Amino acid sequence: MKKALLILSALCLGIVLVFTACSGKKAEKAKLVYWTMWNEAEPQGMVIAEAVAAFTKETGIQVEVNFNGREIRKTLQPALDAGETIDLFDEDIERVLNAWGKYLLPLDEYAAKAYSTTGGKAYNTVVNKTLYNLAKELGGGSVKNIPYQPSAFVTLYNKDLFAKAGITGTPKTWSEFLEACEKLKAIGIPAITVDDAYMACFFGYNMDRLVGEAETLKMVNNKDFTGPQVLEFGKIWENMAKKGYISPKAASNIWPAGQVEEMAVSKVAMYLNGTWLPNEIKAQAPNLNWGAFAWPAMSAKGDGIEANNYGCQSFGINKNTKYPEEAFRLIVWLTTGEWDERLAEESIGIPAGNNTAWPSQLAEAKVIVDNTTNRLDWAVGMENDPEINAKIKENFAKLIKGDLNAEGFAAAMAK
């Protein structure tokens, strides 16, 4: 009897130990550390804070969010190198890959699974296909960061001013663009403006439309601006300035003067800029009736409206994380369903999910993104070299101010 009691006691103790070990394992809740490029006061930061709180309530997974702002470009690398606990982070899609690529966990297997907010479908089938394919292409055939907050470089315009001028369709060719400019001039409105921050982008897009992407990039790579296309650009924009189609303030605009003091208050009709512009100036232009079209075709040698720059921010997961599945669940939470829609709505941005509604301000930009078959580099390379960027700003300002004619502009750029 005594022996039987000892055996029974030993069995009970074993069961207790096993139960304790198992329950201890289950009790270990994941806690994620997430470094973000947004500040708490930005629309994106505020939505992310709400979304993370809802995620924790739904899943029990704790998330510590560090709002680094753009300083993340300086602070993340040292922290990763030091082995600091960081499970996931976000920034521009190419910066995440190029600057922090050695820390990235390949995400293909996680993206192939279904989640609670994907309606039983694999995650990689419910998000923007163009952006997902871009991530795969940039990752060398493997998805290493997940796109969100997409953006595109487009011609944003004031639909009310277009209607007042009698412009019934958006221009797809240069002749149609000039017709629109003339109609806007007739109602006393300069067609377009620019700030110093976007002059290199402006020049790059014109070069692409005149001679194509490859020749434009060759100009940058070889530091050779002696081609006839530079003189052609000079003649076009010397003429645009003389006719009053470009704002007389454009030459002296220091960002954000053009977008705040001209575009926001309907003193000009168009601005070649990113889909982030309506969000940037929503305080100054809460009721502006936004439209968008691709920069028009200018020459048979150049690209047409199918060629545009687009990109996005993106999430990366640290390959050293203890919780890769939980980190990916948070990414899914932020890029599908309710919170994807909230991010797009509050930041007047492009959503990541296929079935998420676009903000009304960017409805026409969706057509551009969906029909883009050639992704251009940012500024078509014209900001890759600081010296080139500076020379464009200096000489373009002089051109549209009248301090240089087309020949003088070409000669200055050739130097």
Q: pLDDT digit string (tens) for 258-306?
A: 999 999 999 999 999 999 999 999 999 999 999 999 999 999 999 999 9
pTM, two decimals, is 0.85
pLDDT for res 21: 38
Q: Do domains 30-150+311-360 and 152-309+374-414 have the same CATH topology?
A: yes
pLDDT for res 130: 87
Q: pLDDT digit string (tens) for 180-208?
A: 999 999 999 999 999 999 999 999 999 99
Q: How far apart are CA 165 and CA 37, in angstroms?
A: 41
| CB contact at 8 A, 204 and 380 | yes
Question: What superfamily would CATH give domain 152-309+374-414?
Answer: Periplasmic binding protein-like II (3.40.190.10)
CATH topology of domain 30-150+311-360: D-Maltodextrin-Binding Protein; domain 2 (3.40.190)
| CB contact at 8 A, 123 and 110 | yes
The closest of 104, 57, 41 to 76, measured between CA atoms, is: 104
Q: Which residues of the chain have pLDDT under 70?
A: 1-28
The domain limits of the chain are 30-150+311-360, 152-309+374-414
Q: How far apart are CA 310 and CA 151, in angstroms?
A: 6
